[in-house]
Amino acid sequence: MLDIATEVSAALDANKPVVALESTIISHGMPYPRNVETAMAVEAALRDGGAIPATIAVLDGKLKVGLSPDEIQSLGQLGLDAIKCSRRDLPFVVARRMNGATTVAATMIIAAMASIRVFATGGIGGVHRGVEETMDVSADLEELANTNVAVVCAGVKSILDIGRTLEYLETKGVPVIGYQTDNLPAFYSRDSGFPVDYRVDTAEEIAAAIKAKWAMKLNGGLLIGVPLPEEHAMPKEEIDSVIVDAIAEMQQQGISGKETTPYLLGSIVERTGGKSLDTNIQLILNNARVAAEIAAKMTL
């Protein structure tokens, strides 16, 4: 079931840095053709940083690790018709030989199967606002608790309940690291107001902590929060107001479950006149650059 691209397999065999990338950002996160343009730009950023990109998806029932440009193009055009795959979906998408885009959770699973230990994404899922009524908690958190992959991101998506998400990660023993920051970034903005467990200022120190964790058989991932550059960040007050309005609209329409995040991200793009999409792209590129540095130090 596992189909690893030749370039990725060769890099892993040679102990060269490899960074996993998810594919829901291609199918569900952005409109075509910017989704394809962004996916290719992120892969290029990894290569510029000395790492081999491994974009992950399920194509015709195969767990693909490393997509070709043509496959990225096809997935981008498929868009919302691709199944959004988390852990629960993978058996059925594989068995039925369907096409699926992998979430953070599913990407971590497949990356671990391929022995890829560093993964760059935009932001992780978490505990949703209003969880006391909906019990809506992303499977990303359980995967971070159990799967040995380090996740480089711009923090928890700001549409979520960041405080409760951090409490959940603490309970599960997942270290939350701030890369050159004392507070966890909040996706569109640089500072969520919530402190990280550990501030780390170099990729070398992060790699050392990752190696120490797994050497002690302390299974599970690490969350590495990277603030996007100041010139691309959105003011926290501005984006928070937009998110509140988008959530209220979503609740009125009765949208729930795994459709929540794509709906909210789309609504926020519309409400910000496309500014949030530009920010989203910049933070993913920034995360890829940091992930490439960490992956390089992991191979030493």
Supply the residues annotated as catalytic: 22, 157
Q: Which of 6, 93, 14, 29 is nearest to 262 (CA)?
A: 29
Q: What are phi and psi of 157, to 5 degrees?
A: -55, 135
Let me know: does 175 contact 198? Beta carbons within 8 Å.
yes
Q: Which of 197, 192, 183 is nearest to 159 (CA)?
A: 192
**CA dist., res. 208 & res. 214, Å (int):** 10
- How many Å separate Cα 209 from the centre of its chain? 20
- Which residues make Cβ contacts (< 8 Å) with residue 209, sequence separation at least 6? 175, 177, 198, 200, 222
Q: Which of 41, 15, 38, 12 is nearest to 27 (CA)?
A: 38
Q: Where are the alpha helices (DSSP H) in the chain?
A: 6-13, 24-27, 34-48, 69-78, 90-95, 104-113, 131-134, 139-146, 162-171, 203-215, 236-252, 260-271, 275-298
User: Are β-strands 118-120 and 100-102 bridged in parallel, bridged antiparallel, or unpaired?
Assistant: unpaired
Let me know: does 23 contact 107? Beta carbons within 8 Å.
yes
Q: Provide the phi-psi class of 218: left if phi over 0, else alpha when psi is between -120 and 50, else beta.
A: beta
How is residue 227 annotated by DSSP? P
